[in-house]
Amino acid sequence: MKRYFLIPQDSFICINHFKMKKATALSGILVLLIFSLYAQDNKSGLIKNWQIEPTFNFRYFNITTFSEGENIDFLNYPESESGEPFYYAFLGFAARVEFNNNIKVALNAALYDHADPALIEFNAGYFPKNRWGITTGATMFSYLSNDFSSFHRKKYPDFDGNLHNNFQQRTRFLSAFYAGVEYFYPGGKTMLSVKLQAGFGGHHAFEEKLQQKQILSNYKEIIHYKTSYHFSPVFYPSIEFQQQLINAKSLTMGVSIRGSLFYTFTAINYQQTIFQWTYENKSVKEVDSENHPFIKADGSLGFFIRW
Amino acid sequence: MKNIKKIGLILCFTFIIKIMASCIFPGEAPIFSFYPDKLRIQLLNNNHTYLSESEEDSLSRNAVALSLIITEKREMAGLSMKRMEVFAPVLATSPPDPEYIIENPVTRIRVVSLFSVNEEVTAGTDVTNMFLFGDRQEFLYVTQAFALENQFAEPYPEPAIGFDMFLKPVVENDTAQFAIQVVLEDETVLSDTTGFIHLY
C-alpha cells in the first residue's frame, strides 16, 4: 500500500536550525577566507587596510497586509498583530578588506537574541575612479511570522485546529542578490559612502502542515503547504558614515553609522494539498498570492578598528 | 583518624562500583506471544480533539466510533503481571516491561449494521467498507488492510490488540447497532454485537 509521509511539524524547527548552521558555516568560511588573505598579505602586500567592527543594530519591518481571501496568504502574518510595523535590536559584526587594486570586500553578520541569523551579507566593490565604484553582493536575513493558523480558525469555525503544534512562531528567511553603484567620499577624518543597488530576491521555500478535526464528527483533514522560491525585484540603497577618533601610527579607531533600506514587492506562492480522512484521499491546487510591499530598514552603530 | 580515612575510601570505592554497575544495560524486554480468543466492543467518544472511551450508550450521529479489543482469555492474569520483578544490581534503571506479539493474527473484520444507516444502507447491510481505522502513529485514518498489516509493526505492552473504527457516513437513524465478526488466521471467528447506540 502506498503511504504518504509528511515532514513532522517539529522538524521545521530543525530545518530552521539547519539553515542557521548553514549560515554559520558560510560565515565561518568567509572569516577563514579573510584570515587566509591576512596570512597571504604578509608576503604579497596586496592589501591596503583591514577593518573590523562590532555593531549594534536596529531593524524596522513593515509588511503591508491585506484582508484574507479564500486561500491563506502567509505574508499576512508577520510578527506584529494586525500588520503593524515591528522592530528588532541585535548585535553584529562587520569586517572589511581594502585591496591596493581598488577592490573592497565586506562581510556583515548578525544574530538575533532568539538565535536566528539576523543578517549575513557579502559585498564587493570595484573603484576604477577615485570616488565612484560598482558594487555587487548577496544578503540573507530573517524575521518572525506569527500564528498563521488563525486563518483556519476563522475559515473553519466548526473545526478544532488546536492539535499538534499548529500555533508555533516560524522564522522566515529572505535572500537577495544585487548590484549597483557606490559614491565614496574620503574626507580627512571622515568618510561617506552612498550605494544605490538593485537586484532580485525573495522568501526561501518552506513547508507547513496543519491538522484539524471537525467537532462532533469523525472527519479529519491535514492541510499541507509547500511554498516555492519567488524572485521579485529588490531596491536596496544604503549609506555609511565613518568618523575617526584615534589615529596612532598604523592603527585607526573610530565610530561608524550605517543605514539601509530593503524594499521589495513580493508574494509567497505555494502548493496546497488537503488530505481528507486518509492520506490516499487528497486534492492538490496551486495558489498564487498577491504581491505585498515589504520594507526592511536597518540602522547600525559600530566601533571600528582599522590597520 | 586512620579509621575515618579507611571508611571514606570504602564508601568512595562502593560508590564507584555502584555507578559502574548502574551503567550496565538492563537487557532487552522479554517478549511473549499471545493467542487472541476473546472479542470485546467498546464505544468511543470522538466528538472533540482527543479520543476517549465513552461511558454512555449515546454518540453523535456524525461521530460513530467503536473500539475492538481482542485479547487472550487469560488477559487478566497477564495484566496483573505488568512489571517483571527481576534481580538488578542497582535500581538506577528499572528492568524493562514485558512485551507481547500476536500469534494467530486477525485477517478480516466484518461489520453488519442491524439498523438502517440512511435510505441507501438498510438494516442487515455489510458496512465494513464504511469504517476507517485509527492508527497509533498517524493523525489521519487508515484502511482496514493497512490496519491489519500494522498488527506486526511493533510489540504490544499488554496481551491485547485493539482496532479503533470510525464510521464515515452520517447515520440518519436515531439508533444504531452493529454485529462484528473478527476472523483470525486459523479461521477462528470471534463475534460480538454492540448494544443499542442512541444517536443525537
Place of cell 584570515: A35
Q: What percent of chain A is predicted at pLDDT more than 90?
A: 52
What number is the ipTM of this complex? Answer: 0.78
Question: Which residues of chain A does B166 touch, with a Cβ-Cβ cutoff of 8 Å?
Answer: 218
Q: Is A1 on the interface with B (CB under 8 A)?
A: yes
Strand-by-strand arrangement of the B64-71 sheet = B52-53, B38-45, B64-71, B160-167, B131-133
Render pLDDT for A88-122 as a digit per residue (tens, 0 to 9): 899 999 998 888 888 899 999 998 888 888 999 99
Render pLDDT for A201-258 as a digit per residue (tens, 0 to 9): 999 999 998 888 999 999 999 999 999 988 899 999 999 999 999 888 788 999 999 9
The alpha carbon of residue B110 is apart from the nearest alpha carbon of chain A, in Å, by 20
Question: Which residues of chain B does A215 touch, with a Cβ-Cβ cutoff of 8 Å?
Answer: 47-48
* Sign of the C-alpha dihedral computed for residues A49, A52, A57 and A60 taken in this order: positive
Whether the per-residue pLDDT at A16 is higher than 60: the answer is no
Residues 6+ apart with CB under 8 A from A21: none
Question: What is the pLDDT at residue B25?
Answer: 67
The alpha carbon of residue A88 is apart from the nearest alpha carbon of chain B, in Å, by 37
Render pLDDT for A265-276 as a digit per residue (tens, 0 to 9): 999 999 999 999
Residue of chain A with shortest Cα separation from B145: A1
Helix, strand or coil, per DSSP, at residue A33: helix
* Cβ separation B140–A275 shorter than 8 A: yes
The alpha carbon of residue A221 is apart from the nearest alpha carbon of chain B, in Å, by 7
Question: What is the pLDDT at residue A7?
Answer: 37
Residue of chain A with shortest Cα separation from B199: A216
Q: Is B153 on the interface with A (CB under 8 A)?
A: no
Residues 6+ apart with CB under 8 A from A251: A305, A306, A307
pLDDT digit string (tens) for chain B, length 200 residues: 668 888 888 888 888 877 776 666 667 778 888 888 899 999 999 998 888 898 888 999 999 999 999 998 765 444 444 444 554 455 556 667 888 988 889 999 999 999 999 999 999 999 999 999 998 788 899 999 999 998 887 888 888 999 999 999 999 999 999 999 999 999 999 999 999 999 99
Render pLDDT for A222-234 as a digit per residue (tens, 0 to 9): 999 999 988 899 9
Question: Which residues of chain A does B168 touch, with a Cβ-Cβ cutoff of 8 Å?
Answer: 218, 277
Using CB atoms, pick whichever of A211, A215, A280 lies closest to residue B139: A211
More confident residue, A22 or B37: B37
Give me the residue spans of the domains in chain B.
Answer: 2-199
Using alpha carbons, select from A59, A30, A202 the residue that is nearest to residue A119: A59
Question: Which residues of chain B does A216 touch, with a Cβ-Cβ cutoff of 8 Å?
Answer: 47, 60, 62-63
